[in-house]
Amino acid sequence: MGVALTKSAQWTTAAGFGTGTLEITPLNEGILKEIIMFVESFIYKHPQEAKYVFVEPLEWKTNLDPSAFESGYVVSATTVKSEEVDKNGQPLLFLSVPQIKIRSFGQLSCLLFIAKDTKLKEAQACIEANRNPVAKILGMDYNTMKEDPSILNILDKITKEDDPESEVKMKMAMLLEELDLHLLNYSLKHASLEIHLNPVTIKKDIELLKHFSGQGEQTVLESIEYTSDYEFSNGCRAPPWRQLHGEICYVLVKPHDVETLCITCCAEGVFLNGGKTDDEGEINYERKGAIYKDLVTFLKHKSAKFSENMSKQVSTRLTEEQQKVKDQPKKAPKKKEADALHKSITSSNKSKLENNQINFGKNQMTKRLEPSVNWKTDVDFKVISVRDTQEKKHGGRPEKSTPPVSPGRAQLVHKNADKTEEIPSESSSESEEDEEPPDHRQEANADLPSEYWQIQKLVKYLKGGNQTATVIALCSMRDFNLAQETCQLAIRDVGGLEVLINLLDTDEVKCKIGSLKILKEISYNPQIRRNIVDLGGLPVMVNILDSPHKILKCLAAETIANVAKFRRARRVVRHHGGITKLVALLDCAQNSTEPAQASLYDERDVEVARCGALALWSCSKSYANKEAIRKAGGIPLLAQLLKTSHENMLIPVVGTLQECASEESYRAAIKAERIIENLVKNLNSENEQLQEHCAMAIYQCAEDEETRDLVRLHGGLKPLASLLNKTDNKERLAAVTGAIWKCSISKENVTKFREYRAIETLVGLLTDQPEEVLVNVVGALGECCQEYENRVLVRKCGGIQPLVNLLVGINQALLVNVTKAVGACAVEPESMVIIDRLDGVRLLWSLLKNPHPDVKASAAWALCPCIQNAKDAGEMVRSFVGGLELVVNLLKSDNKEVLASVCAVITNIAKDQENLAVITDHGVVPLLSKLANTNNDKLRQHLAEAISRCCMWGRNKVAFGEHKAVAPLVRYLKSNDTNVHRATAQALYQLSEDANNCITMHENGAVKLLLDMVGSPDQDLQEAAAGCISNIRRLALATEKARYP
């Protein structure tokens, strides 16, 4: 009992010094009640011990009147004596108003019965007056307030004393010890139940309440504010000397139905204090009421209105959530997670939750979202639900705080969804931004920037103001830094996007202008773009394109240009007829026929066209839009605009053209509309972006031979060559090198480039450039090196080493070009020496293992000149362990280009007898024979060459016949390709040395076909055909001779 009273009971501050009082706290009350129960039942449970006389009486001031005592007491006006007396005849209870002395548990029990309703007070007074009751009951030796008050100690004392009382005393001690333990347990339990408040939770509560405070019937409070603005670093606002008592801060709360309350928030809980004194503004810190566990509970008790509105808030949120969940169950897969939040709140749709639940497995939020009767959790939940409501409104995306796996997963899901919605044929040029970026919103608990609240207010004025107020709010909103993500997201998060989009639907020109000006700025943010599309902003903007006000046209087009950066948006624009309208904007001439208006908000027609082009540029990244632009007659208009000299205009125009030039129809139109001329002209512009787009457009178009010639004729090669020297802007460099690559497919162009010394520059660009540039540079060199002079030039400039170095890359496009370039260089024996020395052949050979067929084929083609020109090629080839087997096995490929190139490699390998023997062992003959049935002329040619080479070994000639390669070969002679004829005739000539083959040929009508070939101007063909015929003829003669000797 003693320990419990000293350690657990909560004494007022003065407790340490003299007569303290017990505070009225739930804990103290509990302890007192436990003690009372103990004392009351004492007389029944332990009648023997109840008679035990205390060593010293328990003495305190009672409020009981002597008249309350009845039978068993001697009552006078001011005194009461119990009839029960000790052995010395002293009464066990003696009351002399107001002092009372009691010396046994029996009397204590009786007193409590008499006290009835006031027994708690009496018990408290008793405990307060007797700070160490055990010592008084059992004597000072049992002072439990001393150190080490162990039960053993007490028992020890008792057993030493031998008087008859000792047994009773021992029992007493045991009982008191039991009580003490019980009380300690009780207070422990209580302590663990109690939620200790800390500055953070209190701050959160107050901020939340503030959010729902204000004028009006719906708010929970009229106002709530701190008494002090200063916050100490520990989060407390109470002055330091009060913080010692665990006090955190003081708040003035004005509920709707009660006077202003001055409240102390301390670690133990929340209570009403003495209020703010009027004169000095000081707070009377004294507690004036019960302690509540938190602010919300406190206010619920104090204000009925608060409690009513608070539950309303919760329920309206809940119904809102549920409604929304119902309304849009599967609107977008991404929303599933947000829905999951609500579902887990309502905790109804457990089954539907299952697939989402997994995301929340490690999420601390689930814990907070578990339904609970506890108000504390309700408050937390409310924080979330408020955020969620906003999120739902604004497109409903999962919070940032969802587990890290979910954005990726959501992304995947959404991508799939996008794919299914999307028409399959989207242009390859749309690469950027087709991924949905993971949406992130400010976290529920994150501190919101001040802009957030200001913007929220402005949005309120937008909603509730007339035209004038709306314009003012719009202008004020534009004063924020709209390029800043915080502001962009704030506008969205407070519901501003809906309002702005709604304004576009009104008749108010000024409001539309203001709204579009804001939308234009914030739509630079990818998330906002998606939100705008989700809210149906695009169709409205498309409609505005028809407006008679040019500024509206401009702004709408510019905003569309920003928004249509992703596929779904571009599709929406197209489906609402936006492309046609945008194309119409390009027609300056048509616009200028309208009567000139002295409208305040007018802009020049050129500006309208520019904005139109800007929007088309964004839209033109989708294949279907390219088609739509063409069908709407966009190309002649773009061509027309290309003649202007406004750079601002030219960039989007050329950008659109460049984007569209990926389509054959555009390339033809570009040629027809004489656009190349202007593209070339603008290569000379000062603007880097313009140069880049022009070069890019040329790159796209120069696949066409006529276009390449046009570029040259209009003098485009020189500016391209000179732009090669400007390497700082990598995008432009990539475009320029691309244009050079494609242009150098024409021999005349290559000659020009050599003249402009572009080849040297290209070689210089082989190192330290990004891959996009390297691909084009190497591609260009590959084309240039088809000519002898350039091969020499590249070698002399030291280009071979960097080229060979690039053979180890992984970029497919780059490898295709590099192998081609190396192959082209290898034609030159001198260069070949260098390549060989750098181990280039081995690198090429290993690229035969590359998974991409293009790389395989290109590497194989490059190997041919290498083998041809290497010194001691046979030895070199043999040195590649497993190399020959690899090549032979490539004949099993199903890619025609790979097969043709490998056949060519085999032709070259087979020139060496030893190697031919090896590949024969690896089964080259059956594999080649298998390929014979093909219509591909390229493959036919190289296959025939390979067969003819492979006939040079052992009984391969016979083997080809056995594998039925001869008959298909004969059919090759019917092809239209002379190269095929020559190679086939040579192969047949080789094969005709075997009699059976001759018979097969004859049977398949080879003789007649070969006779035609003999008349060919191609000498090799003539010879081979003649040789073959002679072999067949010889066999026939021999047979005749044998038959008719």
Partner 1 sequence: HLCTSLKKDSQFWYLYSCFMVKKSEVECLIRLFHSLVERDDVRLHNNVLDRNTFRATLHNLFGMTDDMLMKRVFFAFDKNDNCMNVKEWIKGLSVFLRGTFEEKLKFCFKVYYLNSDGYISREEIFDMLKNSLHQQSSEKETDGGIEELVEKMLKKMDYDNDGKISFAVFEKAVKEETLLLEVFGQCLPEAKVQCQQPKLVEKTF
User: What are the beta bridge partners of residue 99?
Assistant: 61, 96
Identify the bridge partners of residue 221 per DSSP, sorted by sequence position.
213
**C-alpha span between 813 and 624 (Å, rounded):** 27
* Stretch of 5-13, 461-469, 792-800, 1004-1012 contacting partner 1, by CB under 8 A: 461-469
Per CB under 8 A, the segment of 16-24, 313-321, 322-330, 592-600 that binds partner 1 is 592-600
Q: Provide the β-strand partners of residue 60.
A: 100
Contact 82, 92 (CB under 8 A): yes
Binding partner 1 (rule: CB under 8 A), the pick from 432, 479, 686, 728 is: 479
The one-character DSSP state at 973 is: T
Name the one residue in this structure whose structure tokens are 């054959």.
664
In one-letter notation, the amino acid at residue 712 is R
Position among 152, 598, 810, 881 found at the interface with partner 1 (CB under 8 A): 598
Binding partner 1 (rule: CB under 8 A), the pick from 71, 192, 420, 468 is 468
Residue among 138, 183, 216, 164 at smallest CA distance from 32:
183
Cα(716)–Cα(709) distance, integer angstroms: 10
- The amino acid that residue 464 corresponds to is G
Name the residue nearer to partner 1 (CB basis): 217 or 432. 217
Least separation in angstroms between CB 406 and partner 1: 39
What binding mask, one character per residue, do residues 404-443 give for partner 1 by CB under 8 A, x or -?
----------------------------------------
User: For residues 209 and 224, is the Cβ–Cβ distance under 8 A?
Assistant: yes
770 near partner 1, judged by CB under 8 A: no
478 binds partner 1 (CB under 8 A): yes
Closest contact distance (angstroms) between CB of 469 and partner 1 is 4
**What type of residue sits at position 966?**
V
Candidate list 46, 190, 460, 718; residue touching partner 1; CB under 8 A: 460
Measure the CA–CA gap between 505 and 547, rounded to whole angstroms. Answer: 12
- ω before 98 within 30° of 0 (cis)? yes
Stretch that binds partner 1, among 56-64, 237-245, 597-605, 794-802 (CB under 8 A): 597-605
What string marks each residue from 490 to 519 as x (binds partner 1 by CB under 8 A) or -? -----------------x-xx--xx-----
Asked if residue 1002 binds partner 1 (CB under 8 A), the reply is no
Please report how close the Cβ of residue 455 comes to partner 1 at its closest, in angstroms: 12
Among 200, 469, 672, 1037, contact with partner 1 (rule: CB under 8 A) = 469
One residue of 139, 235, 289, 465 binding partner 1 per CB under 8 A: 465
**Residue type present at position 682:** N
Is the CB of 494 or the CB of 632 nearer to partner 1?
494
> Near partner 1 by CB under 8 A, which window of 475-483, 554-562, 719-727, 732-740?
475-483
Is 867 in contact with 877 (CB distance < 8 Å)? Answer: yes
By beta-carbon proximity to partner 1, the closer residue of 508 and 1018 is 508
> Can you tell me which of 192, 425, 431, 466 binds partner 1, judged by CB under 8 A?
466
Taking the complex as a whole, how short is the minimal distance between the CB of residue 261 and partner 1, in angstroms?
A: 22
Tracing tokens 């082209």 back to the chain, one arrives at 824
The single residue listed with the structure tokens 């390669």 is 965
Closest distance of CB 497 from partner 1, Å: 20
**Binding to partner 1 by residue 473, rule CB under 8 A?**
yes
Q: Which is nearer to partner 1, 305 or 940 (CB)?
A: 305
Q: Which of 452, 601, 756, 880 binds partner 1 (CB under 8 A)?
A: 601
Inter-axis angle of helices 550-563 and 509-522, nearest 10 = 30
Q: Which of residues 274-333 bind partner 1 (CB under 8 A)?
A: none
The smaller minimum CB distance to partner 1, of residues 195 and 469, is found at: 469
Q: Is 602 exposed, middle or buried (0-12, 13-18, 19+ CB in 10 A)?
A: middle
Q: Compute CA 476 distance to the chain's CA centroid, rounded to the nearest angstrom.
A: 32
Q: How far is CA 529 from the centre of its chain?
A: 16
| Residue 453 within binding range of partner 1, rule CB under 8 A | no
Q: Using CB under 8 A, which residues numbered 187 to 226 contact partner 1?
A: 214-216
How many C-beta neighbours within 10 Å does residue 263 have?
Answer: 23
Residue 130: half-sphere exposure toward Cβ, Cα within 13 Å = 27
- Burial of residue 450 (CB within 10 Å: 0-12, 13-18, 19+) is exposed
Q: Shortest CA distance to 24 belongs to which of 126, 132, 121? A: 121
User: b/e map of 807-830 (b: 16 or more CB within 10 Å)?
Assistant: bebeeebbbbbbbbbbbbbbbbee
Q: What burial class does residue 339 get, using C-beta atoms within 10 Å of its C-beta: 0-12 exposed, 13-18 middle, 19+ buried?
A: buried
CA distance 860 to 866: 10
Stretch that binds partner 1, among 126-134, 598-606, 640-648, 657-665 (CB under 8 A): 598-606
User: Which of helix, strand or coil describes residue 262?
Assistant: strand
In angstroms and rounded to an integer, the radius of gyration of the C-alpha atoms of the chain is 48
What CA–CA distance (Å, rounded) separates 537 from 529? 9
By the rule CB under 8 A, 475 interacts with partner 1: yes
Q: Does 461 help bind partner 1 (rule: CB under 8 A)?
A: yes
Binding of partner 1 by 600 (CB under 8 A) = yes
Q: Which stretch binds partner 1 (CB under 8 A): 458-466, 827-835, 977-985, 996-1004?
A: 458-466
Measured CA to CA, the distance from residue 404 to residue 362 in angstroms comes to 10
Q: Residue from 419, 457, 604, 747 that binds partner 1 (CB under 8 A)?
A: 457
Q: How far is the CB of 259 from partner 1 (least distance, A)?
A: 20
- Give CA 587 to chain center in angstroms: 41
Which of 315, 323, 450, 597 contacts partner 1 by CB under 8 A?
597
Contact status: 782 vs partner 1 (CB under 8 A): no
160: tokens are 């030493």
Name residues contacting partner 1, limited to 514-573 (CB under 8 A). 514, 548-549
| Comparison of 468 and 976: residue with beta carbon closer to partner 1 | 468
Residue 351 is given by DSSP the state H
* Total residues in contact with partner 1, by rule CB under 8 A: 32
- Of 487 and 740, which has the nearer Cβ to partner 1? 487
**604 interacts with partner 1 by CB under 8 A:** no
Among 12, 48, 76, 467, binds partner 1 (CB under 8 A): 467
Q: Residues interacting with partner 1, by CB under 8 A?
A: 214-216, 457, 460-461, 464-469, 471-476, 478-479, 507, 509-510, 513-514, 548-549, 597-601
